[in-house]
Amino acid sequence: MSKAEAGSPHDPRGAERFNESRAAYTVASAQPNLEAGVEAIRNTLATLKPVPGVYRMCDARGDVLYVGKARSLKARVANYTQVNQLTTRLERMVSQCRSMEIVTTNSEAEALLLEAQLIKRFRPPFNVLLRDDKSFPFILLRADHEFPRIHKHRGARRAKGNYYGPFASAGSVNTTLNALQKLFLLRSCTDSFFNNRDRPCLLYQIKRCSAPCVGRIDEEGYDALVKQAKDFLAGRSSQVQADLEKQMAKAAEELDFETAAILRDRLRAATFIQGSQAINARTVGDADVFALASKGGHVGVQAFFIRGGQNWGHRAFFPSHTKDVDEGQVLADVMLQFYEEVPPPPTVLVDRELPESALIEAALSELAGKKVVIAIPQRGDRRKLLQQAERNAVEALERRLAEKGTKAKVNRELAEFLELDEPPERIEVYDNSHIQGAKAVGAMVVASPDGFEKSQYRKFNIREAQSDDDFGMMREVMQRRFRKFAEGVEPAEPGSGKKGHETILPDLLLIDGGKGQVSSVMNVLEEYGLADEFAVIGIAKGPHHGREGREVFHFPDGREKTLPTNSPVLFYAQRLRDEVHRYVIGAHRAKRSKAITASPLDEIPGIGPARKRALLLHFGTASKVRAAALEDLQRAPGVSEKVARQIYDFYHAGG
């Protein structure tokens, strides 16, 4: 059936015929795909042994579809060849599989940890995925200085010292850190700042630092403060408070009211920290609490972080790809991916039985380097804590669904206004930025029903278009965005999970601009045979540029449409446009900043930062390096005869 006979997905009159033809094609091609997948798995199965390990299923492009672990690789992989026993989800996965990669491990616990690492790395479309990829902040009390520093820390825990957390957000860690500075008067400045002080800084004046940098406290006194801080953060806060109360009473008896007032303020800081903990968890010690809620096929997981009997905050997670997966398995997968980022505490409280709970305990114990226990509390404070987590999980999921419902309604109205057949799943928004043509850069942002997909943003350095040709810049961006499809790359199959800009087409392409920009884009798409594959719309300010809400939507056929100024669809379109503005301007500024600090010496091959610095110190300027004779270059420190010849030849190649 030809494309004309089938109809176009963006032609309402042909939409029904198009869907019928696509369904017929799917039925006709599903079985051969499944057979090819099973054959690829059987080829791998022939070389497998009954040992623990991790397997990866890959599609024809080599992209990872699924990561799994097994106690016996041979037995586990063989299950995928039993087609009659596969669920619909697994049938789809096997039908796309064209190769497998195998890694054997020493134990099943090691395989479980490796599986979580690979899922986090490859984000396969058939695994349960923890969508929250933000790192968690910690409080770090360093141990590499005679006067240890306390500060917020993110990322790898390479620095020597004590880490306290995780905290749910930067706000919660900042609030706690400010109170800790008032309570223990520990420094938060960098070592270089500390070493170059000759008088106390403002933090000393407002009684948030003891000023060890200028000798206002000796090492022994500072060590006592550090010990108190460690005791407090380890859960021994009552002892710390009792000591402070004794010191305050003694100072008052000795009529040292200034010291007594300082101690009083420190006690208030301790009370603030404990009062800010919304959950009474003093008897819990160090523990994480996980509870799962589900509704309408959606899943939410609530986590509480308890350290030293204090609540360091909570966060809700909404994992993806959970359809047809047991809820206990979803919770286990979320926990394992979460602990790839955060060290496990001694106790993990959950609201349900986990599959292979003993194995997960062993894997987390190996990860933590100490015994980790997973438990379902039945009574006492732990049970109350879990019940609170369960309530929060339900409420967080309901809020999430309400927000998604609102977004879905706006998406449907957007599709109706722009005359699309169905609400767009992937919206790409484009803009470019330059100053009189200089340092031109284009940008693409991506939005889905779940919000902005920042991992898929792209920027394009404009290389070919003329400096004053805005339309040419947009053409160049479109050519580089869709060139792979023109070269024969097939778009990713629906539901395959592919999200890279070179493997998937958008449902809606929004251009920040008017008729000229839309025409430039359509010329490229027609050249590449993509003009009918998705909708293209331009969004530009109306005749009164300074007034928000007067945006005009430009269609490829020359029509223009506007929306009421209070329309939710208009607000959504403005958000999309503002986001691409923010991103492209940031990319443009970064490019300008880099150009400002660039040096002509950067262009010389083989000249690194150290030699460049030596040359500039010796000659003074890059122009003098260029004008220097070969003998003068050889006299520069760190420049050998060979390097001097290389520099000289670079500047005098035509002489």
284 pLDDT higher than 70 = yes
346 neighbors 287 (Cβ within 8 angstroms) = yes
Orientation angle between helical segments 237-253 and 219-233, nearest 10 degrees: 140
CB-neighbour burial class of residue 486 (10 A; exposed 0-12, middle 13-18, buried 19+) = middle
Per-residue pLDDT tens for 189-215? 988 889 888 888 888 888 889 999 998
pLDDT band for position 446 (50/70/90)?
A: very high
306: burial class by Cβ within 10 Å (0-12, 13-18, 19+)? buried
Q: What are phi and psi of 140, to 5 degrees?
A: -115, 125
CA 227 to centroid of chain Cα atoms? 36
Residues 28-37: contacts with CB within 8 Å, 24+ apart? 30/95, 33/95, 33/96, 34/83, 34/91, 34/94, 34/95, 36/95, 36/98, 37/93, 37/94, 37/95, 37/96, 37/97, 37/98
CATH class of the domain defined by 287-400: alpha beta
Confidence band for 110, pLDDT divided at 50, 70 and 90 = very high
Per-residue confidence (pLDDT) for residue 2, from 0 to 100 = 38
Q: Which of 366, 343, 338 is nearest to 153 (CA)?
A: 343
Strand 150-153 versus strand 535-540 pairing type: unpaired
What average pLDDT does this structure show over 375-391?
90
Angle, CA of 4, 482 and 489, to the nearest 5°: 70
Cβ-contact 486, 529 below 8 angstroms:
yes
Position 127 scores a pLDDT of 92
| pLDDT per residue as tens digits for the range 119-164 | 988 889 999 988 755 678 888 999 888 999 999 988 778 888 888 8
| pLDDT for residue 606 | 66
- Taking the C-alpha atoms of residue 161 and residue 157, their distance in angstroms, rounded to an integer, is 9
Outline where 234-279 has alpha helix (H): 237-253, 257-275
Region 593-611: mean pLDDT is 63
- Under 8 Å CB-to-CB from 246, ≥6 apart: which residues? none
In this structure, what token pair is assigned to residue 5?
């006979």
- Which range among 87-101, 432-446, 510-524, 624-638 shows the weakest confidence by mean pLDDT? 432-446
State the CB neighbour count (10 A cutoff) for residue 430: 24
Q: How confident is the model at residue 8 (pLDDT cuts 50, 70, 90)?
A: very low
Angle (CA) 262 264 267, round 5°: 115
pLDDT tier, 308 (very low <50, low <70, confident <90, very high otherwise) = confident
Q: What percent of the chain has pLDDT over 90?
A: 32
pTM of the model: 0.67
Q: What is the pLDDT of residue 21?
A: 38
What stretches of 391-448 adopt beta strand conformation (E)? 427-435, 438-448
For residues 634 and 378, the model is more confident at: 378
> Domain 600-651 adopts which CATH fold?
DNA polymerase; domain 1 (1.10.150)
d(CA 592, CA 601): 18
Instruction: Give the residue extent of every domain in the chain.
Output: 3-122, 138-275, 287-400, 427-595, 600-651
Q: 460-470 pLDDT, tens per residue?
A: 887 776 656 78
Q: What is the pLDDT of residue 324?
A: 84
How far is the C-alpha of 370 from the C-alpha of 616, rounded, in Å? 54
Q: Tens of pLDDT along 385-428?
A: 899 999 999 999 998 888 888 888 999 999 999 999 899 999 99
Q: Pairing between strand 552-554 and 508-512?
A: unpaired
287-400 matches 427-595 in fold:
yes
User: By the 8 A CB rule, do 589 and 582 touch?
Assistant: no
With a CB cutoff of 8 Å and minimum separation 6, the contacts of 350 are: 289, 290, 291, 331, 335, 374, 375, 376
310-327, pLDDT tens digit by residue? Answer: 777 788 999 988 888 899
Min mean pLDDT across 261-275, 332-346, 581-595, 605-619 is at 261-275
Question: In this structure, what token pair is assigned to residue 562?
Answer: 């506007």
CA-to-CA separations, 363 to 113, 209, 357, 470, 533, in angstroms, rounded = 6, 42, 10, 56, 47
Task: Give the C-alpha separation, 655 to 649, whole Å.
Answer: 9
Mean pLDDT of 520-525: 91
Q: Name which of 362, 363, 364, 374 is nearest 343 in CA terms.
A: 364
Our measurement of the distance from residue 289's CA atom to the centroid of its chain's CA atoms, rounded to an integer in Å, reads 23
H-helix or E-strand spanning residue 291 = strand 287-295
Say how many C-beta atoms besides its own lie within 10 A of residue 24's C-beta.
Answer: 12
Q: What is the CATH number of domain 427-595?
A: 3.30.420.340
> What single-letter amino acid sits at 651?
Y
Residue 459 CA, chain-centre distance (Å), reads 18
Query: How would you write 194-210 as a 3-class SS string?
Result: HHCCCCCCHHHHCCCCC
At the topology level of CATH, where does 3-122 sit?
GIY-YIG endonuclease (3.40.1440)
